[in-house]
Chains A and B, each alone.
Chain A
């Protein structure tokens, strides 16, 4: 379980905090969607729970352990996987190499299991030939599926996604959301999706709205 306690953050010299004393909990086997308008601070919140940035006040606990004690690098390496709107794959590699790199960096139990990776990619519609092509030669939808498989195969229990369908058409968006639901329900991970799209937000198990500096759990 990921727990956020008394999280408070300001932007620069702003008079008012972006949010104050936020308390939230994220359980495994569930898809959480955080929805809010642009500039509301949802991506900033994501960067705190992903270990990419530190809040000015408050703590984040993973299974009761403060992530400050786990260490940001260690936390990102073993506990959390991130899926970005821009896919953020290594452009000089194939899809297969991208995932093998992630497995190697995170010391995953599936490290070096090439066939396992190819099978996983095939399960989301990426054939071996495409898996071995340079990742930039794949479509946006295919690249995002590669990014999700990367997040799925590393040992991290928390998967955080920032506008994962932002660059995709309706059909691909639906496929991606389905993959996230599978990650939570079949692979028992905690999935947190940040989105500005209410339709995507509605497809989560728990919807959290960020309105007027307040996180409201629906």
Chain B
């Protein structure tokens, strides 16, 4: 009968003690496994965040450069005008074809006057408050034309602030057409339906009229707070980015583009590449990974906490098991003495102890695998919820800012923007935050291997601690009392 059989005999004979050890070991392994799977889930969620956090790189006019150019202009006119710089769509597309870019949205804005219909005006008690929407220059119209690559990629549509209620979205296939999507209030107050044609009048170029085809009607949630005609969201017409460029006389060029990355981790290298493609000091290329960082932090905290759980439980488990085994060795001194007197080597006796714990480890692993996912899921999501709460409360101040700068006073043709490009980041972040409300914990083969490895290390260390007392035992002292 070798020491492995002796281990089994001992465990079956000492049922109570074996059960107690099984429970202790199971508790240790359940927490170790929970820590491992929380860690894995957090890592996988972090990877997912890295890919989908929607870090954006915006290419827009370098305002400092723009204003300094305006100041140094030789014009003696009282009202100085600035011209928004543009970049060719070819360069924009070249940058958009970078492998790290998921999609991009070109934004061009123009201001026109309604011709075949009336604008929607919102009356408020106080006039003049709020943001400037293109100023009060003579060239500012009462309708804002927001040209985009696709309305679906526009922040207000992503965040469901604007929602198509009839017809369809503006897509890339609408480029070089005069298809538009208008707001529901504007449509109903003028009895405009999908398929109708409306007319707008340019603010310059001899007040030329342009016929636009309504392909969709959207509903805007927000209302204007300023009471200015162009500021009411209902007076914003979405169209392809090519139309505002035609209106402003910058065909084939655009003023703003927002690239959304497929992998937030590649933000720096992509920014560098885009800068080199755009290659113009009139433009600033800036990245915004705020939402990525906001999402990343709670995950990093959960990961770090899970790591601490694993180590803490492993260390505590080793100490607890070590102490239990030392106590057990004390009660088993006579048995050890008998085996030593028979000529059994102390190493084999230690081997017997190890194999007893190994059998218990197998049982405890089964229990841990049954309970670990449940406990890990509960603990992980609790941790994440705490982290989310902390993160939201600590960042809420930063997120409450205005939705964009709007056009410069008196800028040529360009009316106010609704802050579309800037809010894209925030809305993507909101979508990701929703996705990260829960941790998807699951037991993978690598988790089982890790658990087994940790379990083996724990019992090996515990046995090593106990082995010290076994090696110090003198058989004569145990077996023969003088």
- B342–A105 CB distance below 8 A: yes
**At the interface, yes or no: A208 with Cβ under 8 Å from chain B?**
no
Minimum C-beta distance from B333 to chain A (A): 11
Residue from A47, A101, A154 in contact with B1 in the complex, judged by beta carbons closer than 8 Å = A101
User: How far does the alpha carbon of A107 sit from the alpha carbon of B429 in the complex, in Å?
Assistant: 72
Within 8 A of A (CB), among B443-479: 474-476, 479
Task: Take A74-B343, A78-B343, A90-B335 as given contacts and tell me if A104 and B476 are in contact as well, using a CB distance cutoff of 8 Å.
Answer: no
Query: Which residues of A lie under 8 Å from residue B479 when comparing CB positions?
Result: 52, 82, 84, 88
Give A75 to B6 CA distance when docked, in angstroms: 23
Instruction: Indicate whether B127 reaches chain A with its CB closer than 8 angstroms.
Output: no
Q: Per a CB cutoff under 8 Å, which of B9, B10, B13, B475 touches A52?
A: B475
Number of A-B contacts (CB under 8 A): 74
B13 to A, closest residue via Cβ: A92
Contacts of A91 in B (CB 8 A): 335
Residues of B within 8 A of A84 (CB): 479-480
Prevailing SS type, chain B contact patch: helix
Chain A neighbourhood of B345, CB < 8 A: 73
Residue in B6, B335, B343, B475 whose CB lies within 8 Å of A77: B343
Kindly state whether residue A134 has any CB partner on chain B within 8 Å: yes
Q: Is A93 interfacial (CB 8 A cutoff)?
A: yes
Q: Nearest A residue to B14 by beta-carbon distance?
A: A92
Cα A81 to Cα B463 with chains together (Å): 29
A123 CB to nearest chain B CB (Å): 21
List A contacts of B123 (CB < 8 A): none
Residues of B within 8 A of A103 (CB): 1
Contact A92 B9 (CB under 8 A): yes
B480 touches A105 (CB 8 A): no
Stretch at the interface among A26-34, A38-46, A57-65, A183-191: A38-46
28 A–B contacts, CB within 8 A, in A order: A43-B480, A43-B481, A44-B482, A47-B480, A52-B475, A52-B476, A53-B476, A73-B343, A75-B343, A76-B340, A76-B341, A76-B342, A78-B343, A82-B341, A82-B479, A84-B479, A88-B338, A90-B339, A92-B10, A92-B14, A92-B335, A93-B13, A100-B1, A101-B6, A102-B342, A105-B342, A134-B13, A154-B342
- 8 interchain residue pairs of minimum CB distance: A77-B343, A92-B13, A76-B343, A52-B476, A53-B476, A47-B476, A104-B1, A105-B342
A residues contacting B by CB (< 8 A) are 39, 41, 43-44, 46-47, 50, 52-53, 73-78, 82, 84, 86, 88-93, 97, 100-106, 134, 154, 162
User: Can you name 18 extra interface pairs (CB under 8 A) apart from A84-B479, A93-B6?
Assistant: A52-B476, A52-B480, A53-B474, A73-B340, A76-B343, A78-B343, A82-B479, A88-B334, A88-B337, A89-B338, A90-B6, A90-B335, A90-B338, A92-B14, A101-B6, A101-B342, A105-B339, A134-B13
